[in-house]
């Protein structure tokens, strides 16, 4: 399988809210629908995955409702602030940064943080 440069750039810049499973799905669908000699290009993404095909600037800009996070993977200090600001309420913290609760739990686990310690 070949991927055109611009399509690869879009795939790399996309936030992938559903993690690697979503990327795998894009490739699986492409393999099923495309001509074997066709390279994955932006035109395929525009037709089948418009949320990925948008301009790279749109996807790199932080969401307006995520003031507490400076990057896509927050550091320990940012996670501690998020837990403090929301009194250990993971659902509220997830809503504030526009991420699924499960993602925040993974981040907290990797950082060695227990949300229960921040509950009031």
Residue 51 sits in the same domain as residue 23: yes
Is 118:83 a contact under the CB 8 Å cutoff?
yes
- If asked whether residues 17 and 49 sit together in one domain, one would say yes
15 occurs within a structural domain: yes
Q: Cβ distance 68 to 82 under 8 Å?
A: yes
- Residue 29 structural domain: 5-60
Residue 114 inside a domain? The answer is yes
* Rg, Å, the chain Cα set: 18
| Same-domain pairing of 15 and 44 | yes
Query: Is 113 a domain residue?
Result: yes
φ and ψ of 107, to 5 deg:
-60, -45
Tally of domains in the chain: 2
Residue 69 lies in a domain: no
Q: What is the tens place of the pLDDT at every residue in 2-61?
A: 889 998 888 888 887 777 888 888 889 888 888 888 898 898 888 888 888 774 544 444
């Amino acid at each position: 399988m070949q991927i055109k440069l611009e399509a690869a750039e879009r795939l790399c810049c996309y936030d992938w809210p559903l993690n690697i499973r979503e990327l795998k799905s894009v490739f699986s669908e492409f393999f099923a629908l495309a001509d074997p000699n066709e390279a994955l290009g932006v035109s395929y993404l525009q037709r089948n995955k418009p949320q990925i095909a948008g301009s790279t600037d749109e996807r790199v800009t932080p969401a307006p409702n995520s003031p507490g996070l400076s990057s896509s993977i927050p550091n320990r200090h940012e996670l501690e602030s998020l837990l403090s600001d929301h009194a250990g309420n993971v659902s509220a913290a997830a809503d504030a940064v526009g991420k699924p609760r499960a993602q925040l739990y993974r981040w907290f686990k990797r950082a060695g943080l227990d949300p229960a310690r921040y509950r009031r």
